[in-house]
Amino acid sequence: MDRAAGPGGVAPRAERPDLRAPALLHQRQDDLRAGRVSPLVDLAGEPPGARRERFDRVARAPA
């Protein structure tokens, strides 16, 4: 495991690039068009619907 990575091998938030930054967003779009990345993963690296499922799970949880 990389020393910079936190639990689960994920780098701490401050060290991960902000994928919403315009330059990275344009690079992501170029990669999608060129077929270098899968369209089945959103900008956060999650499969489609994962955030919605997580939101629904939290919304249904007892208060």
Instruction: Please state the pTM of the whole predicted model.
Output: 0.30
What pLDDT shows up at residue 2?
47
Interacting residues of 4 by C-beta distance below 8 A, sequence separation 6+:
11, 12, 15
pLDDT per residue as tens digits for the range 1-46: 445 555 566 656 666 666 666 776 777 778 778 877 766 666 566 6
What pLDDT shows up at residue 42?
61
